Amino acid sequence: MQPIKLAIVGLRRGRFIPWVNRALQAFEVTALCDVDEEKIRSAQANPELGLARADAFVDYDDMLARADIEAVVVASPMSRHAEQSAKALARGVHVLSEVTAAVSVEQCRRLVAACRASRATYMFAENMNYAREVALVAALVRAGLFGATYYAEAEYIHELKQLQSDTPWRRRWHTGVNGIVYGTHSIGPVLLWLPGERLVSVCCAGSGHHHRDAEGQPFEMEDTCVLLGKTSRGGLVKIRLDFQTDRPGGHYFVLQ
């Protein structure tokens, strides 16, 4: 089988792709796209990445029009994911999109419409679904060792105050909105363990505001946000997200 001709969009987050290919040997990176030309030059100059021969672009539309590609990894800031994915799908280019898929309900609707209208494949790259412990529990569920799963909890605790200074888009799209804005690392594994289920209704609450950003401004997102959701078969899901609290971070899961 011929390797898939692949473009990487967003070199800060997308630099992991060549490492993946060392194991898969399934694709060839033929194009790189980033608004920061220095990131492209740095990636091309790194012999371990093997990207020296990839064509370089600073404009996404230009890359779609001129690059020799069959698939694209969308690893740009999260507010761009839906639009860039939809444009690739419209050209018949397969998409692997980083989390999250979209930042608004309207973006979600446009992305779904683009997926339905295209012959190309869209995949959402929720990496936690492939963590060893998550995959192990999923296998136990498939084997029937949990019986009927009907309740799950997941928490994503990740203090991001400094990281938001380093990557300013996070200050707008992570903690600039109050709610569960980055719930995929929790919802992905939970729905994997509740096979055939989907969330059909949710309610959320927050713990208030007790932290400020590097400029001394309060975050719009409350410190801890909790979502309770009912599933299509009557199950219950609880999701907790916390990006501000000064405490050890990690992913925590419960299945019943």
pLDDT over 80 at 1, yes or no: no
Task: Supply the pLDDT for residue 209.
Answer: 93
Task: Supply the pLDDT for residue 185.
Answer: 95
Name the token pair of 243: 């990006």
The predicted-structure confidence for 58-89, as pLDDT tens digits, reads as follows 999 999 999 999 999 999 999 999 999 999 99
Say what the pTM is.
0.91
Distance between CA atoms of residues 178 and 204, nearest Å: 10
Q: Which of 221, 216, 89, 100 is nearest to 165 (CA)?
A: 216
Q: According to the 3-state scheme, what is the secondary structure of the chain?
A: CCCEEEEEECHHHHCCHHHHHHHHCCEEEEEEECCCHHHHHHHHHCCCCCCCCCEEECCHHHHHHHCCCCEEEECCCHHHHHHHHHHHHHCCCEEEECCCCCCCHHHHHHHHHHHHHCCCCEEECCHHHHCHHHHHHHHHHHCCCCCCCCEEEEEEECCCHHHHHHCCHHHHHCCCCCCCCCCHHHHHHHHHHCCCCCEEEEEEEECCCCCECCCCCECCCCCEEEEEEEECCCCEEEEEEECCCCCCCEEEEEEC
Q: Which of 225, 237, 234, 156 is nearest to 192 (CA)?
A: 237
Q: Kindly state the percentage of the chain with pLDDT values over 70.
A: 100
| Weakest-pLDDT range from 64-73, 147-156, 174-183, 201-210 | 174-183
pLDDT category at 174 given cuts 50, 70, 90 is confident
Task: Supply the pLDDT for residue 167.
Answer: 83
